[in-house]
Amino acid sequence: MSATALRPADEAAPGSAPRPRRTADPWTGTRRLFLLNLRLDRLRILVWVLALGGTVWATVLALETTFPDGQSRQARATLLDNPSAVMMTGPAFGVDDYTLGAMTVNELSLSVLVATAIMSVLLVSRHVRAEEESGRLEVLRALPVGRFAPATAALAAVAVADAAVGAAVTAGLVAAGLGGADALAWGVATALTGLVFGAVAAVTAQLTEHARTASGMAMAVLGAAFLVRGIGDVIEPRGSWLSWFSPLAWAQQTRLYVELRWWPLLLSAALAVLLLAGAVGLAQRRDLGAGLRHARPGPAAAPASLLSVTGLARRLLHGTFTGWAAGLVLFGLAFGSLADSLEDSLEDIPLITEWLAMDVDALTESFAAATLSYLVLGVTAFAVSGVLRLRGEEESGRTALVLGAGVSRPRWFLGWCAVVGVQALLALALSGAALGAGVTATTGEARWIGELTLAALAYLPAVLAVAGLTAALVGVVPRAAALSWAVVAYVVFVSWFGVLLDMPEWAAELSPVRLTPLVPSEDWDAAPPLGLAAAAVALVGAAAAGFRRRDLLA
């Protein structure tokens, strides 16, 4: 028998490179991968932590300034009688004695919970499925890394992110003067809710072989949880039996700043553990790179539209556009239906005219204009995500394949940007029409649908300016493209808190949305939108020129 046959399988031949030893421990390497994931996501986590913690802190201060006494807060509580308000905020606790804490929780907690859930879904999909889809996980597993180590490290990193957001929420409440056990409970509820939906994403990552499909399925579960909770809370303002089928309701049922109870959070913790165990079990039943649900084969022949750059871009952005458009329409209808509640509460809340810059002589117009400016923020975020998808196509290698087929770089880049621009226009029109339909449903005046649709289109240059800046970063400085989200965050901050915090005019006017006239309550001024449109064209032109000259994946 030869010496080679007697040599152990993991021992290298003389003179050759040593082979990595296999390990029987399925969690080998978890600690190092965990630290690597935290390093890779340190900026993303920091942005989420600062954004949510800062939002909580600023919202408490804003509500305290706008509703300084019990009378004004009780008037505000009457708005929770509207089913649309309950659908978009949650159960109405403590309305008989509406304290600042109860008001903050009722009006902000759902937004914080949903945002944390979205963060968790995106992070889990990125580390569990995207790494596997790209092939990097297969390379990693060739090293002395246990079978469970990558997924365990990813989920541990997401748990740290959730804990950091929860701590930021608690810190924001304490800094704003709402400390105590309730502040701690809100932070814990936020972290556990994020962990629940992170575990949901871990399960969906086992079902499909594509990261976007996995995150989309998890987002659909989040949407269903939102809808179930909303319908349940409309049935009974303090939460009906149906509400308890939603993990979002469990966090809100802690009844913060009213009658604190911790036990609903045990449901969140238990569900997170069950889902994570289920994800581990499902992972044992599939091959690396595959999903339990086989992908459907595509049609034998592609439609003619996919033979063009714009057709391909439209197909790739279809899911993102549909999701954003559906959310904006839902919010537009819900907030539009609140228009009939303003006159009853305005006398008791005089400071609201300063907070929202409302004209008491044209209350409906002012309310519609202010609400429309908030919906535009969602369209802006969609436009930025659509342009950043272009960078994602480049990093995945698909852009190289398209260019290798004979498509010129300017044609690819400008065609993609054109599709994003058209979809942003459609999203604005849908947002304005939905808001107009909500106002019409409460006032009985059908004119609002047309007026608010046209008013929404006035914000197109502002949206395109932010998208153009994103395109410039992608085309010229691609490694800094993610900074475009900082621009979106600044625009949101100016819109929400600029007036309340008495921000300097020059600082507020750095926001393209702020430069746009607040139609239909303000007179139209063509100069700012034309300037923004010119800036958008210049930025996209510079972006296309930069993309043409630089290397791919630069």
pTM of the model: 0.79
Q: Based on the number of CB atoms within 10 Å of its own CB, is 45 exposed (0-12), middle (13-18) or buried (19 or more)?
A: buried
Sign of CA dihedral 21, 22, 25, 31: positive
| Tens-level pLDDT at each residue, the chain (554 residues) | 444 443 444 444 555 545 544 455 777 888 888 898 888 888 889 888 988 998 899 888 888 887 888 787 887 777 777 676 777 777 888 888 888 888 889 888 988 999 999 999 989 888 887 777 666 777 777 777 777 778 888 889 999 999 999 999 999 999 998 988 999 999 999 999 999 999 999 998 888 877 778 888 888 899 889 888 888 888 887 888 888 999 999 999 999 999 899 999 999 999 999 998 888 888 777 766 666 677 677 677 777 777 788 998 998 898 889 888 988 998 888 888 776 665 555 555 554 555 455 554 567 787 888 889 889 999 999 999 999 999 988 887 888 888 888 889 999 999 999 999 999 999 999 999 999 998 898 888 888 999 999 999 999 999 999 999 999 999 999 888 888 888 888 888 888 777 666 678 888 888 998 888 888 877 778 888 999 999 999 999 999 999 999 888 76
Q: How far apart are CA 128 and CA 151, in angstroms?
A: 6
**Would you state the structure tokens that stand for residue 53, as one six-digit string?**
């913690």
Phi-psi region of 344 (alpha: psi -120 to 50; beta: other; left: phi over 0): alpha
Query: How far is 204 from 216, CA to CA, in rounded Å?
Result: 9
Residue of 257, 259, 233 lying closest to 244 (CA atoms)? 233
- The tokens of 234 are what? 């409309």
In 3-state terms the chain splits into helix, strand, coil percentages (rounded to 5) of 75, 0, 25
> How high is the pLDDT of residue 456?
93
User: In three state form, how does the secondary structure of 337-395 look?
Assistant: CCHHHHHHHHCCCCCHHHHCCCCHHHHHHHHHHHHHHHHHHHHHHHHHHHHHHHHHHHH
Separation in Å, CA 291 to CA 136, 217, 296: 16, 13, 12
Q: pLDDT value at position 356?
A: 52
Q: Report the distance separating Cα 250 and Cα 240, nearest Å.
A: 12
Instruction: Count Cβ atoms within 10 A of the Cβ of residue 466 and give its class: 0-12 exposed, 13-18 middle, 19 or more buried.
Output: buried
Report the pLDDT value the prediction gives residue 98, as an integer from 0 to 100.
Answer: 86
Domain spans of the chain?
40-293
Q: Which residue has the tokens 């994020």?
A: 194
CB atoms closer than 10 angstroms to residue 97: 11
Phi, psi of 338 (to 5 degrees): -85, -5
Residue with tokens 């600029």: 498
| pLDDT score for 446 | 87
Cβ atoms of 82 and 338 closer than 8 Å: yes
Largest CA distance in the chain: 100
Q: What is the pLDDT of residue 429?
A: 95
Please report, for residues 56, 181, 265, 276, the alpha-carbon distance to residue 174 in angstroms, rounded to integers and kept in the order given: 10, 10, 21, 32
Question: How would you label 493-515 residue by residue, b for 16+ Cβ within 10 Å and e otherwise?
Answer: bbbbbbbbeebeeeebeebbbbb
CB of 126 within 8 A of CB of 96?
no
Which long-range contacts link 265-269 to residues 24+ away (Cβ below 8 Å)?
Answer: 265/185, 265/188, 265/189, 265/192, 268/189, 268/192, 268/193, 268/195, 268/196, 269/192
Numbers of helices and strands, H then E, in the chain: 26, 0
Can you give the pLDDT at residue 538? 95
Task: Return the pLDDT at 419.
Answer: 95
Report the candidate in 270, 194, 256 with the shortest Cα–Cα distance to residue 225. 194
For 373, other C-beta atoms within 10 Å of its C-beta total 21
Q: What's the 3-state SS for 511-548?
A: CHHHHCCCCCCCCCCCHHHHHHHHHHHHHHHHHHHHHH
Q: Which residues are CB-neighbours of 253 under 8 A, at least 6 positions away?
A: 91, 239, 243, 244, 261, 264
Question: How many angstroms separate the CA atoms of 284 and 334, rounded?
Answer: 44
Asked if 428 and 325 touch (Cβ cutoff 8 Å), the reply is no
